[in-house]
Structure 1
Amino acid sequence: MKNVYLPLLAFLVFGFISAQKAPVDYVNPFIGTSNYGATNPGAIAPRGMASISPFNVAGRIDLNPLEKDSQWLSNPYVYENKFLTGFSHVNMSGVGCPDLGVIIAMPTTGELETDHLKYGSTYSEETAKAGYYSVELDKYKVKAEATASTRVGVSRYSFPAGKANILLNLGLGLTNEQGSMVHVVSPTEIEGMRTVGSFCYNNAEAAYPVYFVVKFSEPAEEFGIWKTPYEYKGEEAKWMTYNGKTRVKEGFTREVIGDSIGAYMAYDFKEPREVEVKIGISYVSIENARENLEKEVGDLSFKEVYEQTKEAWNKKLKVVEVEGGSKDHKTIFYTALYHTQIHPNILNDFNGEYPEIATGKIGRTEGTRYTTFSLWDTYRNYHQLMSLLYPDEQLEMVKSMLAMYDENGWLPKWELNSTETFTMVGDPAAVVLADTYLRGLTGFDVEKAYEAMLKSALDTVNNPLRPGLKQYIDNGYVGVDSGVPGPVSTTLEYNIADYAIAQLAKSLGKKQDYKTFSKRATSYKELYNPETGFLQPKYSDGKWYKPFDPLAGANFEKNVGYIEGNAWQYLFMVPHDIKGLMKLMGGSQIFENKLDKVFEEDQYDMANEPDILYPYLYNYIEGSEHKTSAKVTELIKQYYKNSPAGLPGNDDTGTMSAWLVYSMMGFYPVTPAQPTYTFTKPTFEQIKINLNNKYYDNESVMINYQSSEQTSNSDKSPAFLLEDFFINHNDFLKSKEINLITVDN
C-alpha cells in the first residue's frame, strides 16, 4: 500500500473558517537567526528601506573581516551572541555576504563612553513581532523598543532616573568601507551620511552613501561628537584597530567628516523618562531623508507607527489563510511568508527619487524602484510566488529591472542599492522576465525585455552577465579552460536562461529564435558522461577533466566544475528538460534510482538552490509520485521549525522561505519560465489564496486536503479527476476549488 495524492478540481466554494488569530500574530522573527539563516529579529515594515536590528556581532573593528565569527558576519545579529553594541538602521536579511549594518544607535546611562566594547551590554527579555522588537539592556536597566515605517526607524528608550546618553556610532558596520559625515543640527536633531557598499568585501570602488536624519523627542542637555583615529594592521588582513585616544568635542555643531566618528545626546533625568528617536533614511540626500521622516512619520508616536506597521504586515500576510495544522505549523508558514516580504525592498524615497545604477544620476519613479535582487536564488521559486500572491509587486520588480537595463545597459545579476555586485553565475534576470510574462503579468515593455535578454544571450565580446559565452555557443558548454568559475554550473544556468528566452520567443511569435534557443537550452547533454552517470567538467577540446570526484564541492568547498555544490547536487538541475534527462540516463528506473541515492547518501542540500527542486522530481516518474509528498513532508519536519535554527540555512533573501510556503500549500513551480505547478501533500486542511482582482478573475482559490478515509465520509463530490500531478497556472487560477485527496494505490 502506498499513498498517492491525486488532485481533483471542483467549481464550488466551500465556507472557509478563518483562524482565531490574525496571520500577523503567528510571525516569529527569531526564526532563521541561528543555523546560518542570516535573518534578524529587528523591526521592519513590508519591503522596508529602513529597519532596526539589534547589532550583536563585534563588526570589523574587533575581528578580521576575512574571517567569520561563530555564524558569519553577513548579518548584524546571531541568536547565540549575547553582547549588544547598538541598533543598526539599514540591514539585509538572509544573505550570504555582509554589507550595511550601519547607523547604529545605542542608549546608555552614567558617564559618557564612546568605545563600543566598553559601552556594549549583555541583554535579556527579548521580544520580536512583525514590525516590533524590544530588549532589556542589563548594564543600564534600559528597555529599548523598535518599530519602523518604510523609510524610518523609530525607537523608544525607557531610561531610569539619572544621567543618560543616546549614542550614534558611524564607525561600526559589517564591512571594510569607511567614510562618514555627522552634523548636530540642534539639541533635538542630527543629520549625516555613512558610506556603505563593499558587498562580499569586493568592488570597494563602488561604495556609495546612505543619508540619515535623526530626531529626538527630548532636547539634549548636552551634545557633541567623537572621533577615533585608526590605522591599518598588516597589508594582508587590512583590518582596523584602535590607534590613539578618542577625542570628544562637546557642543560641537559643525559638520565632522571622518572614518570612525559618532555623535551623542546627553541627559540628566530627575525621574524615569521615555525618549523616542526617529531616523529617516535615504540613498539620495539628507534633504530626502528628512522628507521621508516628516512625510511617513512626522509627529506620530511610537505606538501609532507600530500599529500602522502591524496592520500593513497583516494585510500582506492574509493574502493566504490557512486552517488545520498545529500552531507551530502556522508560525513557520506565516514567518516564511513574512520573510518573502523583506527583499527585494524599496529603494526610492517618498518623492520617487533614487540613485540610478552606473550613471551617477538621480532618477525618479512613478511607481516603486526595488533593490536587493539576489536573482541566482530567487529566479527558481520566489518570483513565481510573487506573481501569484503579490502581482503588483512583481510587476514593479520587473519594471525596476528594465529601468536598470536603461541605466546600465545590462539586466541585473545580483543588484544591491543600484550597484551590481556580479555575485554568482548565470543570467537569472532573463528567467524572471520571461516567467512573469508567461504567467499572464504582461503590463511591462516586453519588447524591451526581450531586447535585453537577447543582448545578454548573444553578445560574446564584452558581456558581464555571461562570461565564456562564445565557447558556450560554439561547443554547447563552458569549458574548464575558459577561465569561468564552475563551468558545469554555468552551462546549466545558461541553458535555463536560454529555455526562458525560447518560451518567451514562442509566446511573441518569434519562431526562429524559439528554435535557436530551444536547441541551446539542451546543450547540457554535452557534459553528460554515460560512464559515470554525471554531468562533468570538460575542456574545450572535448576531453573530460580529470580527476573527477562527484562528492567534491559540497559544503561550499571549491570545485573545478561547480559553484556551491557538487556533481550530485547539479545532476538533476535541468528543470526545463526533465524527460530529456531521464532518457539520457537510460530511462525512468535509472533516473529514479539515482534520485533515490541523492537522499540515501546524504547528498541532498536543503540549504542551497541547485537541488532545491529534487523532491518534486518524483512526480515525473509514473507510479512513484507518492515519493514527492513523502519526501517534502519529511524535509519540512526536519529543517523548518519554530525556533531560531528553524531554517535549513541562509534564507537567500526569501528563497528558502518561498520553498516552504509553496510546499506547505501543496504545490510547487518546478520549471522556471513554464507556468505549471506540480502537487504535493499540503500541511493544512484548507488553504485559501486571496487573489488580486486587478489581475485575476477569481477572488480566491481554495485548496482542500483530505485522506481517503475522510473522503469516504464526505458528501463532497469533485467535478473531475486530473490525469496527472500537474496543472497549468491559468487553470489553477480558474479553479475556485482544488481538492487534494490521499487515496490508496
Structure 2
Amino acid sequence: MTREALTYALWLGLCGSLSACGDSDAATPDAGPADSGPVDAGPPPASRPAATPLLQWVDAFIGTGGIGFNDIGSTYPGPAMPFGMIHPGPDTMNETGALVFTHCSGYAYRDRYIRAFSHTRMNGVGITDYGAVALMPTIGMSAERTTALGHRSSYDKESELASPGYYAVTLDEGDIRVELTSGLRAALHRYTFQAGSDATVLLDVAHALPEVRVDDGAITVLPESREFEGFVHFSGGYSGRFGGVRVYYVARFDRDFAAHGVWQAGALHEGETTRSGADVGGWARFDASSDREVSVAVGISFLDVARARMNLEAEAADLDFDRMRAAAESEWESQLARVEIEGRDERDFRIFYTALYHALLMPTLATESDGRYRGLDGEEHVADGFTYYTDLSLWDTYRTFHPWATLLWRDRATDFVKSMIAMAEQHGSYPRWPLGTGETGGMLGDPAVIVLADTWQRGVRDWDVARAYELARVSADGDPPSGGRGNMEPYLRLGFVPIESAGSSASKTMEYAYADDAVATLARAAGDDESAATYESRGRNYQNLWDAERELFIGRHEDGSWPAEVNERRWEDFYAEGNAWQYLWLAPHDVEGLAETMGGRERMLERLAFFFQESELERRTVGPPAWYWHGNEPDLHAPYLFAGLGDHDGSARWAAWARRTFYGDTPEGLPGNDDGGTMSAWYLFASLGLYPMAGDDDFVLGTPLWTRAVVHLEDGDLVIEAPEASAHAVYARSMSWNGAAIAGTRIEHVDVAAGGTLSFGMSASPE
C-alpha cells in the first residue's frame, strides 16, 4: 500500500470527521465482525457458468469509492487497454476541492463535479501523481474557464457508464454527452453538444491530480491540421523526488475550428496559437448548428511531440471512435476469457472479472510505437527484443501480481523482468518504485529481486539471469550511489538494521532477509553456489529481531537491546505501515524457520489462530486495523501460512473469511488501495484455491470458490473442479491432481503451468 504513515496522520487531520471527507455515503464501513465459519444459508443455489460476453461482469466502479484505510481502492472508471500507456478518464472533485487521499487515481465515486478528462494515471495506488493533458468540453470561453473551478461541471450520475474499453457521462453544464475510449498510446473522445450551443473544447496544461505541481508546459494550436500539441512537466507525490515527468501530447480534432485561442495566467489571447509556462492552455470553438458531434484523438509520449503524433497516427489517425471502442472491447474480452468460471452467485462473477480487469491496468507501457523509450537515466533507449514498462509498485506487487502475471501472461512477465534489468543497468541498481521516467525510491526493501527470483523459479526464463544476479549484488552487498536498499553497512555488520540507523528498521530487516533469500535463488541459477549459501543464510536475518519474551519481531538498538516499551498493536517507528502482529508473519520464504523461531509448528499455528480470531472480532473503522490488515501487504499471505504448516483447514477457513469480508461488488468493494493489482490478484488466486509464496516454485493449496474453473495457460488448460463448493462448503475433504490424491498442501508451479485437473471434494465442516 504505497503510502507512508505520515499520509495517514495528515489525512485524519484534514478530514476531522467522516462527513468532511466528501464521501459521506461511505462513511460507515463498520459492518461489525464477520462470521469466520462457512455461511449457513440452507441449500446452495445451482451452479452455472458466467455468461458471455464476459465484459458484462466487469464493474469498473468497484474500488472507486470508500473512506479510510480499509476500503479506498483508488481505482478509476476510465477506459484503457491492458497495460497501456494512456489512461483517459474523469478527474472529479466536490465543492471544496479534491481530498488527496481519496483521489489518487483522480476519481472518487461520490464526487459531484468533473474537473476535466486527463490522460495519465495509475491504478489503485496510495500516492497522487500524473493527471496530465486534460481536455474539457464546455460552453463558450472566458477568463473564468481557464481555472478548474471555472470549467468544472456537475454531472448526471445516472448517465455514467463504464466498462474496460468505454466510459460515458452527461455533463450538466451545457447538457454535453462525453464518451471516451482508448488504445495503447492514444485515446479518443466524442462529445455531443446541444444544437446551436457555443461548443468549445479546451486543453488545460496546468491540470494535474491533487497536490501534483505543474512545473512547466506548452501548447501550440495548429488550425490547419486541427491540432493542439505541446508538453506537460509535472512533479507529484513520488515523481517530485526525481525532478518530475514530462509528457508530450498531440490532440487532433475531426472538424475545422470556428475560432481558437490560447491563455496564460488566466488572460485570454483570442486567435493566437502558442504559449509556454506552468499556467497555460488553449481552446477551440466549433459550429454546432447542424453537426453536434466533435471527436478528438489524443496521442501521448514520454519522448517528444513527434512520437506523440506517431503514436496517434498508429492508433487513431481515422478518428473512428466506434472502431477503437470495438477493438478495445475485443481485446478485453479475449483477456477475460483466459479464465472461465462456474459458480453459484452473480456477485462473485462481478468481483472476479473486475479483479482480473484491475490486474491488467499496471504496470504502464512506456515503449513508443517505434520501440524506443526514456530510461531511468533520462536518456533515450531502444527496447531490443522486449517491451519496456514503468510504474512498478514493487513493494506491493511482488507478493501476488507478479506471480499471477508469470502464470497467466508469460510474455508480459518476461517484459517486466527485462524492464527491471534495463532499469538497473541505467540507474545503477534495481528500482523499488519506478514511476514514469524516474525512480522514486518509494517504500523499502529490495522487491525487484524477489520478482526476478519468483519469475525464474516459476519457469519463465527467457532473460539473462547471470546479469540479473550481478546487478542484484550491487544492492545486496552495499549501498550504491544510486540508493539501493540503504542502511546496508549496519545490516551486514549486525545482521539487522538498528533503530538508530533508520526509520522502519524492523521492516527493513525483514524485507532485506526476504530479498537475500531471493538473491540466493539468482546465485544458484547463475552457478554461484558458494555465494548462494551465504545469501541463503542471510535470508534468516529476520530471526535476529526475535524478542523471545514478547514473542514478536521487534526493532533493536545498535547495542542489540530492545526498546523498553512497545505497543504491539500500534505503528511503532521501526515498522512501515504495520505493527508487531502484522509483521510477525513476514517470512513467507522460510515458513519452517519461522515456526522454529516461534517455538515450533503447534505454537505458530496457535498464534496464527489467535491472530485471526482477534481479526474476526475487530470492528472495521476508517483507521488501520490492529490485527489482520488485508488492505496492506506485510501480512497479506497470512491465511495461507496454516496450509504452509500442513493445516489445510485453517487456510480454507480464513481465506474464505477474507474473500467474503474484504471484497464486494460496490464502489467500496476493494480492501485498501488495489496497489497496482495486488489486492485483485490475491482474490484471483484465493478464489481458484491456489496461493503463491513469492520466490517459491510452488503454490500453497487453499480451496476454490468456484464449482469449476478453466484457466487457459500457454502449455495447456488448468481445470479446477469442486462441484460441492459454495458459500457454506469451504473445506476440502479430498484433493487430487489428474486423478491422483495429493499428499500434502502444496503443488508445483511447473505442474500447474503445464495444465491438468485439480479436483477438490468440498464440505461444510472440517474433517
SS at 2:500 equivalent: helix
SS at 2:610 equivalent: helix
Between the aligned partners of 1:632 and 1:651, the Cα distance in structure 2 is 18
Residues 1:646 and 2:680 are matched in the alignment? no
The counterpart of 2:247, out of the listed 210, 213, 227, is 210
Q: Following superposition of structure 1 onto structure 2, how do residues 374-389 of structure 1 map, counting pairs within 5 Å?
A: 374-389=393-408
Residue 395 of structure 1 aligns with an amino acid whose one-letter code is T
* Equivalence for 2:633: 609
SS at 1:597 equivalent: helix
* Equivalence for 2:455: 436
CA RMSD of aligned residues (A): 2.4
Between the aligned partners of 2:207 and 2:319, the Cα distance in structure 1 is 29
* Equivalence for 1:21: 52
* Equivalence for 1:152: 186
Between the aligned partners of 1:650 and 1:218, the Cα distance in structure 2 is 41
* Equivalence for 1:191: 229
What runs of 5+ residues in structure 1 fail to find an aligned partner?
Answer: 5-15, 229-245, 554-558
Q: Give the TM-score normalised by structure 1.
A: 0.89
* Equivalence for 2:722: 705
* Equivalence for 2:500: 481
Between the aligned partners of 1:280 and 1:708, the Cα distance in structure 2 is 47
Deviations 1:561-585 (A, max 9, x none): 1001000110011101111111221
Between the aligned partners of 2:37 and 2:74, the Cα distance in structure 1 is 37
Specify whether residues 678 and 306 from structure 1 end up closer, same or farther in structure 2 by C-alpha distance, changes over 3 A only: same
SS at 1:577 equivalent: helix
Does the aligned pair in 2 maintain the 1:34–1:71 contact within 8 Å?
no
CA shift at 1:588, angstroms? 2.4
Does the aligned pair in 1 maintain the 2:707–2:724 contact within 8 Å?
no
* Equivalence for 2:712: 690
Does the aligned pair in 2 maintain the 1:456–1:463 contact within 8 Å?
no
Does the aligned pair in 2 maintain the 1:348–1:365 contact within 8 Å?
no
Specify whether residues 610 and 485 from structure 1 end up closer, same or farther in structure 2 by C-alpha distance, changes over 3 A only: same
The counterpart of 2:203, out of the listed 156, 161, 168, is 168
CA shift at 1:198, angstroms? 2.7
Specify whether residues 736 and 138 from structure 1 end up closer, same or farther in structure 2 by C-alpha distance, changes over 3 A only: same
What runs of 5+ residues in structure 2 fail to find an aligned partner?
Answer: 1-35, 39-46, 67-71, 616-626
Residue 339 of structure 2 aligns with an amino acid whose one-letter code is V
Does the aligned pair in 2 maintain the 1:413–1:420 contact within 8 Å?
yes
Deviations 1:636-673 (A, max 9, x none): 11111111111011000010111011011111002x21
Residues 1:457 and 2:476 are matched in the alignment? yes
The counterpart of 1:566, out of the listed 567, 574, 579, is 579
Between the aligned partners of 1:422 and 1:58, the Cα distance in structure 2 is 32
Specify whether residues 181 and 387 from structure 1 end up closer, same or farther in structure 2 by C-alpha distance, changes over 3 A only: same
Does the aligned pair in 1 maintain the 2:487–2:497 contact within 8 Å?
yes
* Equivalence for 2:146: 114
The counterpart of 1:679, out of the listed 701, 714, 720, is 701
* Equivalence for 2:263: 226
Q: Which moved more, 1:460-469 or 1:497-506?
A: 460-469
* Equivalence for 1:231: none
Deviations 1:15-74 (A, max 9, x none): x99643122221111111012211100011111111111010379xx86xxxx8174342
Percent identical residues? 32
CA shift at 1:111, angstroms? 5.0
* Equivalence for 1:242: none
Does the aligned pair in 2 maintain the 1:103–1:168 contact within 8 Å?
yes
Q: Which moved more, 1:71-80 or 1:399-408?
A: 71-80
CA shift at 1:93, angstroms? 1.1
* Equivalence for 1:576: 589
CA shift at 1:219, angstroms? 1.1
CA shift at 1:466, angstroms? 1.6
Between the aligned partners of 2:719 and 2:260, the Cα distance in structure 1 is 59
CA shift at 1:145, angstroms? 0.4
Q: Which moved more, 1:632-641 or 1:385-394?
A: 632-641
Between the aligned partners of 1:731 and 1:538, the Cα distance in structure 2 is 43
CA shift at 1:264, angstroms? 0.4
Q: Which moved more, 1:564-573 or 1:596-605?
A: 596-605
SS at 1:108 equivalent: strand
Residues 1:123 and 2:155 are matched in the alignment? yes
Residues 1:589 and 2:602 are matched in the alignment? yes
CA shift at 1:412, angstroms? 1.6
The counterpart of 2:686, out of the listed 636, 648, 663, is 663
Specify whether residues 700 and 471 from structure 1 end up closer, same or farther in structure 2 by C-alpha distance, changes over 3 A only: same
The counterpart of 1:722, out of the listed 733, 737, 742, is 742
Between the aligned partners of 1:393 and 1:632, the Cα distance in structure 2 is 28
* Equivalence for 2:10: none
Deviations 1:202-257 (A, max 9, x none): 42x522310000111111100001111xxxxxxxxxxxxxxxxx21011112x311
SS at 2:664 equivalent: coil
SS at 1:44 equivalent: coil
SS at 2:588 equivalent: coil
Specify whether residues 51 and 402 from structure 1 end up closer, same or farther in structure 2 by C-alpha distance, changes over 3 A only: same
CA shift at 1:460, angstroms? 4.1
* Equivalence for 1:31: 62
SS at 1:192 equivalent: strand
* Equivalence for 1:99: 129
Residues 1:540 and 2:575 are matched in the alignment? no
Between the aligned partners of 1:117 and 1:489, the Cα distance in structure 2 is 43
Does the aligned pair in 2 maintain the 1:52–1:89 contact within 8 Å?
yes
Q: Following superposition of structure 1 onto structure 2, how do residues 221-260 of structure 1 map, counting pairs within 5 Å?
A: 221-228=258-265, 246-253=266-273, 255-260=274-279
Between the aligned partners of 1:74 and 1:469, the Cα distance in structure 2 is 32
Between the aligned partners of 2:267 and 2:479, the Cα distance in structure 1 is 55
CA shift at 1:528, angstroms? 0.5
Equivalent residue pairs, number: 693
Between the aligned partners of 1:20 and 1:584, the Cα distance in structure 2 is 49
Between the aligned partners of 2:338 and 2:546, the Cα distance in structure 1 is 43
The counterpart of 1:48, out of the listed 84, 100, 103, is 84
Residues 1:407 and 2:426 are matched in the alignment? yes
CA shift at 1:730, angstroms? 1.2
SS at 2:564 equivalent: coil
Residue 290 of structure 1 aligns with an amino acid whose one-letter code is R
Residue 682 of structure 2 aligns with an amino acid whose one-letter code is W
Does the aligned pair in 2 maintain the 1:565–1:610 contact within 8 Å?
yes
Q: Give the TM-score normalised by structure 2.
A: 0.87
CA shift at 1:164, angstroms? 1.1
Q: Which moved more, 1:432-441 or 1:127-136?
A: 432-441
CA shift at 1:587, angstroms? 2.1
Does the aligned pair in 2 maintain the 1:189–1:216 contact within 8 Å?
yes
Does the aligned pair in 2 maintain the 1:321–1:688 contact within 8 Å?
yes
